[in-house]
Structure formats: C-alpha cells, structure tokens
Amino acid sequence: MSDLSAFPITARWPARHPDRIQLYSWPTPNGVKVSIALEELGLPYEAHAVNIGKNETWTPEFLSLNPNGKIPAILDPAGPGGKPLALFESGAILLYLAEKTGRLIPSDPAGRYETAQWVFFQMAAVGPMFGQLGYFHKFAGREIEDKRPLARYRDESKRLLGVLETRLAGRDWIMGEAYTIADIALLGWVRNLIGFYEARELVDFDALTHVPAWLERGLARPAVQRGLEIPPRD
C-alpha cells in the first residue's frame, strides 16, 4: 500500500485509498476538468471536497500542495518512476493524465501540440475572460456604475466564442473526430458562461451554430455528467 504521509495535505484530507489518485477539488469550471478527465479515463481516484467558499484552499495543508491556493490539485501515488507526484494547475493535470494513459490526446507529436495549444487557449483566454464577465454581470461587479469593464469582458467573451465557432465548423470536437482534453478544458467554462453566469443573451450565444451543438454533445457524455458533480458540494 502506498504511503502518502509525507504530504501534509493528507492530514486534513486523509486518503482512505492511498493507492489511488487523490483529487483535491470543488465543482467549478476549473475543478471539473480533472474529475471529467478521470471519469473519462476510468482511472481509480479518490475525490476530496475542498470548499472554496470556506477558504479551505488557503489552509496550510492545501498550500503545501499548491502554494497558489487554487483548486484543483492531485496527488498520484504512482507517478513517474513509481514515485508519488503532486501536481496543480488544471491544464498541467490534464496533460499529465493524458500522457500517463496515452488517451484523450493524439499520439503523433503535431497533434499533441495542437491539442495542447487549445488547452492553453482555455487557460489563458477563455477562463479569465469568462470569469471576469461573470463577476461584472452577476456578482459584486454589477454594482459598479461604470459599465465599461462589463462591456470589455462581454465583447472579449463574444470574440472568444467566435474563435470556437470557427474552429468547430465541420468538426464534432476541437480536434476533429477525436474527443480530447481540449474539449474537456473548454466544456465546463462554456456551460458556466450561459448557465451559472446567466450570460446567454449577453453574449448572443443562440446566434452561434457550432458551439451550442458541441456543448450539447459534450454534456451528453456520461463521464461528463458524472464529473460535473465531483466532488459533491458539502
């Protein structure tokens, strides 16, 4: 049996199954990327709810694994060389899981890099822009009288959706016929934008053709449906 006692995070979130991948997360657009990937891959894992509403990511135990204080993070007892690997940043985790299993990513180098670029597109553009739009449209930012920030993030979010619309023309998935970690990285954010952030009309989502169809295909996948609820909220 694997011994994970050297990792302080296991003191607060004990591993009942230390031989499995330990997932420390919360069902946000970033968090569900990893739970969806784990469900798609069928890898044995144990999910620990790290409640961001209670600032649990800023506890010493969580910071010992991710000094940036953000979910998700994982601890793989069977990392490279058979040694435990602690990893944070959802994009890095997606790449790691895909390479560990040889799935959800093309086998040829060119395809791998092309997939990675769309994962980074989500990390660098879609996540930050959609998140800011949500803040200024639904949360505290909506009380700000100056609406220029909202307009900026609305327009940029619409532009990014347009990038996806163009990419998905003639394709079922971001990479074509193959469903990959690029789709997993993006699905939760697009879903959140028109759902939780209530920005469907704001970004003219229904004027699009390919993105809504892609989102529907993705959300219909059983592993995606399961992953969106993991870990369960307290």
Q: Is the pLDDT of residue 47 over 80?
A: yes
Q: Taking a C-beta distance cutoff of 8 angstroms, is the pair 174, 186 a contact?
A: yes
**Quick one: average pLDDT of 91-106?**
98
Output the CA–CA distances (angstroms, integers) from residue 17 to 1, 38, 71, 151, 227, in the order listed. 9, 16, 20, 48, 19
Q: What would the pLDDT profile of 143-159 be if each residue is shown by its tens digit?
A: 999 999 999 999 999 99
Architecture per CATH, domain 9-103, reads as 3-Layer(aba) Sandwich (3.40)
Question: Nearest Cα to 18, choosing from 33, 5, 36?
Answer: 5
pLDDT confidence of residue 3: 83
For the chain, give the percent of residues with pLDDT over 90: 96
Helix axis angle, 181-194 to 90-101, nearest 10°: 140
pTM for this model (two decimals): 0.96
pLDDT confidence of residue 2: 78
Q: Is the pLDDT of residue 1 over 80?
A: no
* Domains of the chain, residue spans: 9-103, 109-221
The class (CATH top level) of 109-221 is mainly alpha
Strand ranges, E, within the chain? 21-25, 45-49, 73-76, 85-88
Residue position matching structure tokens 């031989």: 19
User: Can you say whether the dihedral through the CA atoms of 24, 26, 29, 35 is positive or negative?
Assistant: positive
Q: How confident is the model at residue 72 (pLDDT cuts 50, 70, 90)?
A: very high
Q: Taking a C-beta distance cutoff of 8 angstroms, is the pair 188, 33 a contact?
A: yes
Burial pattern 163-184, b for ≥16 Cβ within 10 A else e, equals ebbebbeeebbbbeebbbbbbb
Residues 76 and 87: their CA atoms lie apart, in Å, by 8
User: Can you say whether the dihedral through the CA atoms of 119, 121, 122, 124 is positive or negative?
Assistant: positive
| Mean pLDDT over the full length of the chain | 97
**Quick one: average pLDDT of 19-35?**
98
- Phi and psi at 40, nearest 5°, equal -60, -40
**Quick one: average pLDDT of 179-207?**
98
**Quick one: average pLDDT of 58-73?**
98
pLDDT confidence of residue 206: 97
Output the CA–CA distances (angstroms, integers) from residue 187 to 50, 126, 203, in the order listed. 22, 11, 16
Residues 168 and 72: their CA atoms lie apart, in Å, by 28
Q: Taking a C-beta distance cutoff of 8 angstroms, is the pair 186, 229 a contact?
A: no
